[in-house]
């Protein structure tokens, strides 16, 4: 997104609630108040170095149609550090990805937020225990009812856990039959 002038975009302020991880364990965004903000994984280390959950930040972003998310182009920390998406391959060199070993995992709970890709395509859900569930867009589109806020589900797959959170790449998903009913 390096071709977009961030000064031309609206500014949103809010508190970072938690980081979101992609299936490789890299930060690819965060929850800002109650909205997903997507950041490309090539900025993961810089984000982790300069912001923490609980911090109030300012972002300039674009909003895809039909998705409760923002695709960030620029973030400014409370200390004035600017994190700007200038594209993934500055200098022609690809950064080495540090992939964590994925292990069998499962999680159950209530969906609190649907998760989207940078162009607004449904890609998973955030559960009330903080676990991110991820899947390819075609699978997510077929399983949209399971990924909607308020759904009670259980998911199985392979995932990673690190100091920034937990994410599972979903192999199987089911509705929780014995989930508590709303009061």
Range of the domain at 141: 103-175
Whether 83 and 120 map to the same domain: the answer is: no
Q: pTM of the entire structure? A: 0.87
In the Cβ-directed half-sphere of 97, how many Cα atoms lie within 13 Å? Answer: 13
- Strand blocks (E) in the chain: 11-21, 27-32, 35-38, 56-62, 69-76, 82-84, 103-116, 122-127, 131-134, 152-162, 165-175
Whether 60 and 114 map to the same domain: the answer is: no
Whether 118 and 80 map to the same domain: the answer is: no
**Phi and psi angles of residue 118, each rounded to the nearest 5 degrees, phi first:** -65, -20
Domain boundary among 23, 56, 89: 89
- Domain CATH for 118: 2.40.50.140
Task: Compute the chain's Rg from CA coordinates.
Answer: 16
Whether 14 and 66 map to the same domain: the answer is: yes
Whether 71 and 144 map to the same domain: the answer is: no
- Digitized pLDDT (tens) for each residue of the chain, 183 residues in all: 567 888 899 999 999 999 999 988 899 999 999 999 999 888 899 999 999 999 999 999 999 998 999 999 999 999 999 999 987 765 544 545 556 788 999 999 999 999 999 999 999 999 999 999 999 999 999 999 999 999 999 999 999 999 999 999 999 999 988 766 655
């Amino acid at each position: 997104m390096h071709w977009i002038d961030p000064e031309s975009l609206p500014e949103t302020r809010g508190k970072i609630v938690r980081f979101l991880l992609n299936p490789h364990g890299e930060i690819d965004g965060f929850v800002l108040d109650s909205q997903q903000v997507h950041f490309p994984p090539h900025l993961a280390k810089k984000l982790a170095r300069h912001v923490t959950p609980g911090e109030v930040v300012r972002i300039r972003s674009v909003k895809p149609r039909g998705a409760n998310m923002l695709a960030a182009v620029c973030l400014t920390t409370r200390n004035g550090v600017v994190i700007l998406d200038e594209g993934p391959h500055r200098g022609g060199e690809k950064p080495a990805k540090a992939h964590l070993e994925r292990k069998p995992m499962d999680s159950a709970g209530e969906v609190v937020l649907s998760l989207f890709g940078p162009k607004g395509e449904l890609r998973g859900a955030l559960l009330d225990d903080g676990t991110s569930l991820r899947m390819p867009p075609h699978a997510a589109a077929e399983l949209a009812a399971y990924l909607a806020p308020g759904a009670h589900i259980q998911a199985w797959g392979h995932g990673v856990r690190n100091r920034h959170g937990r994410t599972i790449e979903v192999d199987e998903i089911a509705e929780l039959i014995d989930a508590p009913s709303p009061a």
